[in-house]
Amino acid sequence: MSVDATLAVPRPVAAAPTRTAQQDPAWVRWGLISIALIVVGVLIVIPVINIFVQALSEGVGVYWSNLVDDPDTRDSILLTLTVVPMALAANLIFGICAAWAIARFDFPGRTLLTATIDLPFSVSPVVAGLMFVLIFGLQGYFGPFLRRDGYAIMPYLTSFLAVVIFILMFFLFRPSSPKARRGLWNHPLPVLLVGSAIVFGVLFFGQQYFQVWPRNQSLKIIFATPGLVLATAFVTFPFVARELIPVMEAAGPDEELAAVSLGASGWQMFWTVTVPNIKWGLVYGIILCNARAVGEFGAVYVVSGHIAGQTDTMPLRIEKLFQEYNLPGSFAVASVLTLLAILTLIAKIKLERKVPAAADLPGPKTDEAQR
């Protein structure tokens, strides 16, 4: 081998040193962790433990007696268990309808509807309660009518709701494929007009004939259970809809359109395609809505009138017992709310672990997610 050939052999190039990830000093990491643990312990852990310590300070027997033997406390628990499911059901129906309209359709007022859904986040609950008092109170817009003959509107309201349900059921069960439609399914307009008139008339005159609703009696909304339901539903208004809108937008309408093109009806498409795609967002919204409804105080305080045994929910009962210096009783009721909050938190954590990762969500995936 010649000298020139030896010199021509390329020499191996030393590999460039890899850049190690930078980390904060240990004292910074442990200092921030310690501060976070101290704040959480002082503001959350210690107060929660103190609630149970105070509730059980006089023994388990007194604790149980404060919850069961006190009729006003027992009524407050039952009232809370009545108001919360009703408000939750109303928000569940509205949330699904609003999320479907916003995620699937482009219509005038779509932005306004989205902003209106967020309104309870920016309005104080006390202001919300005052709003209902100004509308349905004795000196409000509908107060004189409700006081004179408030039940007179109920036959019209229930009949109208029945007509809306009839129309929705028609479109949900109507076959999406024109070939599968037979008979009256091909004539939606006359069916809806005639059917709505029959449903409205039968239900309206049936209520009048059987005197379902009392006459010449006042209908109490404020300082009664309906007012509590309205106030609770208002403050929990955004939770279900706000959880479902991004989920439905991410899923897209492709699978639903495919189901319709294959002949599925609206009801079949909803239960077999839409619900599986939105189930985690739906459950998450229900959990958040339930947690917010159980602990609502401000709006409920304004519309309830604070009537013991009638309009006191659990948060209001806690405040009243505390003002009466019945600390074991107030902490006993507070412990029940705390247990509900802990159960809600556990359900939330378990749900977050089951929620699929971003790469597994339906809809278009990015290159990075696919990799």
324: amino acid identity, one letter: E
Question: Which has more confidence, 65 or 353?
Answer: 65
| Residue range 144-172: mean pLDDT, rounded | 91
pLDDT at residue 183, rounded to an integer? 81
pLDDT at residue 370, rounded to an integer? 40
Q: What is the pLDDT of residues 269-281, one digit of tens each?
A: 999 999 999 998 9
User: Which residue do the tokens 């919850």 mark?
Assistant: 67
Give the span between the Cα atoms of 219 and 246, in whole angstroms.
40
User: Which residue do the tokens 């403050």 mark?
Assistant: 235
* DSSP 8-state code for residue 350: H
Rounded-to-5 percentages of helix, strand, coil across the chain: 75, 0, 25
For 141, other C-beta atoms within 10 Å of its C-beta total: 11
Longest Cα–Cα distance in the chain: 120
Give the predicted TM-score (pTM) of the model. Answer: 0.81
For 293-317, the three-class secondary structure string (H helix, E strand, C coil) is HHCCCHHHHHHHCCCCCCCCCHHHH
Instruction: Place 10 in a pLDDT band, splitting at 50, 70 and 90.
Output: low
Question: Which has more confidence, 4 or 276?
Answer: 276
Tell me: pLDDT of 2 over 50.
Answer: no
CB 317 within 8 A of CB 76: yes
Instruction: Place 371 in a pLDDT band, splitting at 50, 70 and 90.
Output: very low
Q: What is the pLDDT of residues 322-333, one digit of tens each?
A: 999 999 999 999
- Least reliable range by pLDDT among 174-178, 200-204, 228-232: 174-178
| Residue range 315-327: mean pLDDT, rounded | 92
